[in-house]
Amino acid sequence: MGEPNSGAAMLEEEENLIAAAQHLVKALEINKNLTDDARKILANLGTQLSSITKVSENEDEVGLSEIKERLNLVQDKVRNWEVDRSMIWDCGAEEAYEYVKAVDEARKLTETLDNLCLSRGSGGSELLQRAHDVLQTAMARLEDEFRHMLVQSRQPFELEHMSFRSSEEDVVDEGSIGSSFGDDSVEDTLQRDSIMSRSSEEFIIDLVHPAVIPDLKCIANLMFDSNYDRECTQAYISVRKDALDDCLFILGVEKLSIEDVLKMEWGTLNSKIRRWIRAMKIFVRIYLASEKWLSDQIFEDLDSISSICFVEASKSSMLRLLNFGEAVAIGPHQPEKLFRILDVYEVLVDLSPDIDALYAHEAAAGSSIRTDCQEVIRRLGDCVKATFLEFENAVAANTSTNPFAGGGIHHLTRYVMNYIRALTDYSDSLNRLLRNSVAAASFSPESSPVSVSSSCEPVSPMALHFRSLTSILECNLQDKSTLYRDDSLRHFFLMNNIHYMTQKVKDSELRSIFGDEWIRRHNGKFQQHAMNYERATWSSILSLLRDDGIHSPVSSSSPVLRALLKERLQGFYLAFEEVYKIQTGWVIPDAQLRDDLRISTSLKVIQAYRTFVGRYGPHLTDRHIKHSAEDLESYLLDLFEGSPRPLQNVHRRS
């Protein structure tokens, strides 16, 4: 605000002193105890004071006359521009300077008249009213110029110049990955997007052309000095609020209520979350930072006005963005949404220091935005915990009525292991959020076939939950294995699935989370199931090739011995061919495990067969030897391919 006119203040002070002195003289003259000399002195003093008052009044008249002349000049200047509706600043710097000088003169004249004592004549009051009218007209024009300049000098917001602009954000639709556990593509789809890069760097852009900043600042200062601060700030806030809304439109952020978001199909919401994440980082780190810098430049001489204008201009846009985050947080706790919820959570946590810095001013609106942001973060965190626990419950509750065909890797196993592997990208957030959360289901070594951990080593909250989740998965797989009537297929199924779990841990970031002890224990588990499979499949078959019951008192050429050997061999061939027909339809997806099991089986079966034929071959004719050892070895290489078939081109010796 401008300083009061010093001459007017001194004049007012003198008039007050004269009035007080006159009042004192009159009071003393009434006093009857005064001498004649004293009365004469007081009479002379009163005359002098009256003379001074008349001189002061004459000086007032002269001063008002000068003010009137000056006001007439200013009024003409302001009225001329009211007739010419072209924008003053568009007409050049000289015209703008002259107008500003005239308006500043009107401001000073108004202050002078306000500070003069005008109660002795109607002329002064009329002049003061004229001055106020001129100033009001000029301020309205300056407000228009201010708005016009802010709008016309806006710089285009180019998305392609943003350093962390993502590629098309809607390229992957994850809408189906969590609708059931039967999606084989989950390993490919549950990956973090490039848009979640934290390396985006904050930088400032010019939201209006730098050349107009001094003019905007000049107008703002003049309007504030003239007590038109409210009109100036409202004009600024209105224009910049529209600019911020336009920015969100360019970034693809729609005006959606919480109810709108909650009604969306997951595929649509997933796409909008991706877009929101991208928009949020650009809006806060680039656009809002630049917006704050703009207001600081224009209102730098006006105390806290800059922060107030920034907050008021941006609060509706920020609340729109935060409301979307809140809607995501209060939606249903569906496991397939966990990754997107974590994305939203991590973006807000990452941007929280930026938001706190931008809204550091203690104005109520700024404080409210900081509080709202923290509240949305808290709700998202609660949603993450609830969704993860809901996932554990979903895994535990997943039931099957039919055995999984071929004994391969169940969809549930693939989904769970790829799910938690993808979650390792969020380790910091999950450890922070799960620190005080108890796992949905706990297992003890005494009460469960699988234990969470037998190690006393300290483990992270995320590791505890992951171990709990894999324990739940193993229990579920045990239940699913009981659907098989064939005991060998039950072990085969468990071997496949536990091997898959172990490899997923061993060959990924999960290794550091689960630890080598977990890997060793589960290596032992799937190897034990492999041995149990071999025992269940081949023990009874290979027993036909043993010596039990063959050595007898009869001679080596005895028809009884030959009949027994023929029976044993035929039984072996029939059993082998049945295994071949069935187990070529079983599948081991992992090539190394498939080869290892084939080799292990071949070593046992072929060795037993060679020994039997080598020992008892002389007692048999060639027509009794249906397959050579090489044939059988070749047939065993056909197992576990997932395509059942009978033996073809059976080799028979002639």
SS (H, E, C) 350-418: HHHHHHHHHCCCCCHHHHHHHHHHHHHHHHHHHHHHHHHHHHHHHHHHCCCCCCCHHHCCCHHHHHHHH
CA atoms of 598 and 442, how far apart (whole Å) = 37
Over residues 620-644, mean pLDDT: 88
Over residues 513-517, mean pLDDT: 94
Examine the fold and report which residue of 516, 539, 562 is the final residue of a domain before the chain moves on. Answer: 539
Over residues 538-551, mean pLDDT: 83
E strand spans, 190-233: none
Q: Is the pLDDT of residue 453 over 60?
A: no
Residues 233 and 371 in one domain: yes
Q: What is the pTM assigned to this prediction? A: 0.78
Is residue 631 within 8 Å of residue 651, measured between CB atoms?
yes
Specify the range with the lowest mean pLDDT, choosing from 47-51, 187-191, 353-357. 187-191
Query: 614 φ, ψ to 5°?
Result: -65, -35
CA angle 307, 312, 313 (to 5 degrees): 100
Is residue 248 within 8 Å of residue 320, measured between CB atoms?
yes
Exposure letters 253-284 (e unless 16+ CB within 10 A, then b)? beebeeeebeebebeebbbbbbbbbbbbbbbb
Q: Is the pLDDT of residue 148 over 60?
A: yes
Q: Is the pLDDT of residue 1 over 80?
A: no
Locus of tokens 């002049």: 127
Output the six-digit token pair for 291: 């917006």
Query: 397 φ, ψ to 5°?
Result: -90, -5
Name the residue among 79, 83, 78, 82 with its Cα closest to residue 98.
78
Over residues 128-139, mean pLDDT: 88
Name the residue among 593, 476, 470, 480 with its Cα closest to residue 530.
593
Burial of 54 (0-12, 13-18, 19+ CB in 10 A): exposed
**pLDDT-derived band at 483, boundaries 50, 70, 90:** very high
Examine the fold and report which residue of 377, 397, 417 is the final residue of a domain before the chain moves on. Answer: 397
Residues 392 and 269 in one domain: yes
Q: Is the pLDDT of residue 129 over 90?
A: no
Q: Is the pLDDT of residue 482 over 90?
A: yes
Is residue 495 within 8 Å of residue 526, measured between CB atoms?
yes
> For the chain, how many residues are written?
654
What is the predicted pLDDT for the residue at 115?
78
**pLDDT-derived band at 76, boundaries 50, 70, 90:** confident
Q: Which is higher by pLDDT, 68 or 608?
A: 608
Q: Is the pLDDT of residue 574 over 50?
A: yes
**pLDDT-derived band at 363, boundaries 50, 70, 90:** low
User: Which domain does 586 fall in, by range?
Assistant: 546-636
Q: Is residue 562 part of a domain?
A: yes
Model pLDDT for residues 21-64, shown as the tens digit of each residue: 555 556 555 555 656 666 666 566 666 555 544 444 444 555 67
What is the predicted pLDDT for the residue at 552?
53
Percent of the chain whose predicted confidence (pLDDT) is above 70: 76
Over residues 436-455, mean pLDDT: 44
Residues 25 and 112 in one domain: yes
Residues 293 and 386 in one domain: yes
Q: Is residue 370 part of a domain?
A: yes
Examine the fold and report which residue of 539, 559, 579 is the final residue of a domain before the chain moves on. Answer: 539
- Number of Cβ within 10 Å of residue 16's Cβ equals 11
Residues 258 and 351 in one domain: yes
- Facing residues of 208 across strands? 154
Q: Is residue 425 part of a domain?
A: yes
Q: Is residue 348 part of a domain?
A: yes
Output the six-digit token pair for 343: 């994305």
What is the predicted pLDDT for the residue at 202?
53
Q: Is residue 612 part of a domain?
A: yes
Output the six-digit token pair for 113: 């008249």
Q: Is residue 33 part of a domain?
A: yes
**pLDDT-derived band at 622, boundaries 50, 70, 90:** confident
CA atoms of 605 and 453, how far apart (whole Å) = 38
Q: Which is higher by pLDDT, 396 or 202?
A: 396
Residues 529 and 558 in one domain: no
Residues 108 and 173 in one domain: no
Which residues have a Cβ under 8 Å from the Cβ of 508 and sit 6 or more positions away? 421, 424
Largest CA distance in the chain: 179
Name the residue among 281, 296, 290 with its Cα closest to residue 206.
290
Q: Is the pLDDT of residue 361 over 90?
A: no
Residues 472 and 528 in one domain: yes
Over residues 599-623, mean pLDDT: 88
Query: 641 φ, ψ to 5°?
Result: -95, -10
With H, G, I as helix, E, B as strand and everything else as coil, classify residue 459: coil
For the chain, give the mean pLDDT.
Answer: 82
Q: Is the pLDDT of residue 20 over 70?
A: no
CA atoms of 440 and 469, how far apart (whole Å) = 9
Query: 154 φ, ψ to 5°?
Result: -60, 135
What is the predicted pLDDT for the residue at 584?
94
Specify the range with the lowest mean pLDDT, choosing from 18-27, 74-83, 411-420, 433-442. 18-27
What is the predicted pLDDT for the residue at 175?
37
Q: Is the pLDDT of residue 195 over 60?
A: no
Q: Is residue 429 part of a domain?
A: yes
Q: Is the pLDDT of residue 632 over 60?
A: yes
Output the six-digit token pair for 147: 């708005």
Name the residue among 379, 206, 373 with its Cα closest to residue 280.
373
Number of structural domains, the chain?
A: 4
Residues 524 and 575 in one domain: no
**pLDDT-derived band at 172, boundaries 50, 70, 90:** very low
**pLDDT-derived band at 128, boundaries 50, 70, 90:** confident
Locus of tokens 């599948």: 587
Residues 65 and 168 in one domain: no
CA angle 448, 451, 454 (to 5 degrees): 140
Locus of tokens 């630049």: 290
Q: Is residue 609 part of a domain?
A: yes
Over residues 14-26, mean pLDDT: 56
What is the predicted pLDDT for the residue at 112?
83
Residues 466 and 572 in one domain: no
Model pLDDT for residues 276-301, shown as the tens digit of each residue: 999 999 999 999 999 999 999 999 88
Residues 534 and 555 in one domain: no
